[in-house]
C-alpha cells in the first residue's frame, strides 16, 4: 500500500484535498505542520519567531523522516518541505508524490480569504502575489520532481483516478 504525499505552495489545497483523498482511498490523513506543532508543543508561527527558520527546517525534516515506516497515509507536506535537506528524495521514496500547481494569484486570494496572517515566510511582504510568485519560482525545481503534476484545481475523485494505477 503506497502512501500519497501532496506537495505545493501554501494554500494550494494540500490539506483540504488530502483529507478528501484519504477518505476515498481508505487511508489516514496526516498534516506535516500539525505533526510538527504536536512534536514541538507550539504553533508554526511561534516556532519560527522563537527558534528561526533553520531550526524549523531541521525539525520538519526529522518529523517527515519519522513517517518512513508508515503505510496507507495521505500526507500534506509543508509548502517548503521539499526544498530543504534531502526531503524531496525522501518524499519520493515514501510514496507517490503529487505537486498541486496553483497560480500565485489564486494562492493570494485563498490566503486573503483565510482572514489571518499566520504564514511566517510571508511576513512583511509588500505584494502578496509578487512574494508568492518569487517563492513558486524558487521552489519549482523541487516541486516538479513529483511523480504527478496537477495544474490548477482538481477534485479528489479525479486525483484518485490519476494515482490509482500507481498504487
Question: What tens digit of pLDDT does each residue of 7-26 get?
Answer: 999 999 999 999 999 999 99
What burial class does residue 2 get, using C-beta atoms within 10 Å of its C-beta: 0-12 exposed, 13-18 middle, 19+ buried?
A: middle
Question: What tens digit of pLDDT does each residue of 31-66 get?
Answer: 999 999 999 999 999 999 999 999 999 999 999 999
Angle at 157 (CA atoms; ends 137, 139), nearest 5 degrees:
10
pLDDT at 125: 61
pTM: 0.92
**Binning pLDDT at 50, 70 and 90, where does residue 153 land?**
confident
| Residue 114 placed within a domain | yes
| Residue 38 placed within a domain | yes
Distances (CA, A) of 16 to 46, 66, 152: 23, 23, 14
Number of structural domains, the chain? Answer: 1
| Residue 14 placed within a domain | yes
| Residue 85 placed within a domain | yes
Q: What does the DSSP assignment read for 76-110?
A: E--TTGGGSTTHHHHHHHHEEEEEEE--HHHHHHH
Find the domain containing 63 and state its range: 3-162
Distances (CA, A) of 126 to 110, 112, 118, 130, 131: 17, 14, 16, 8, 8
Q: Give the CATH number for residue 63.
A: 3.40.50.300
Choose between 46 and 112: higher pLDDT: 46
Amino acid at each position: 500500500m503506497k502512501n500519497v504525499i501532496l506537495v505545493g505552495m501554501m494554500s494550494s489545497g494540500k490539506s483540504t484535498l488530502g483529507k478528501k483523498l484519504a477518505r476515498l482511498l481508505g487511508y489516514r490523513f496526516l498534516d506535516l505542520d500539525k505533526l510538527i506543532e504536536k512534536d514541538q508543543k507550539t504553533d508554526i508561527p511561534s516556532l519560527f519567531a522563537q527558534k528561526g527558520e533553520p531550526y524549523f527546517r531541521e525539525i520538519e525534516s526529522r518529523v517527515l523522516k519519522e513517517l518512513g515506516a508508515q503505510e496507507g497515509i495521505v500526507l500534506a507536506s509543508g509548502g517548503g518541505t521539499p526544498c530543504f535537506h534531502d526531503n524531496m528524495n525522501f518524499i519520493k521514496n515514501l510514496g507517490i508524490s503529487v505537486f498541486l500547481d496553483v497560480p500565485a494569484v489564486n494562492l493570494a486570494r485563498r490566503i486573503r480569504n483565510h482572514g489571518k496572517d499566520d504564514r511566517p515566510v510571508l511576513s512583511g511582504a509588500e505584494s502578496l502575489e509578487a512574494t508568492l510568485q518569487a517563492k513558486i519560482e524558487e521552489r519549482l525545481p523541487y516541486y516538479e520532481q513529483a511523480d504527478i503534476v496537477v495544474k490548477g484545481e482538481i477534485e479528489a475523485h479525479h486525483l484518485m483516478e490519476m494515482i490509482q494505477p500507481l498504487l
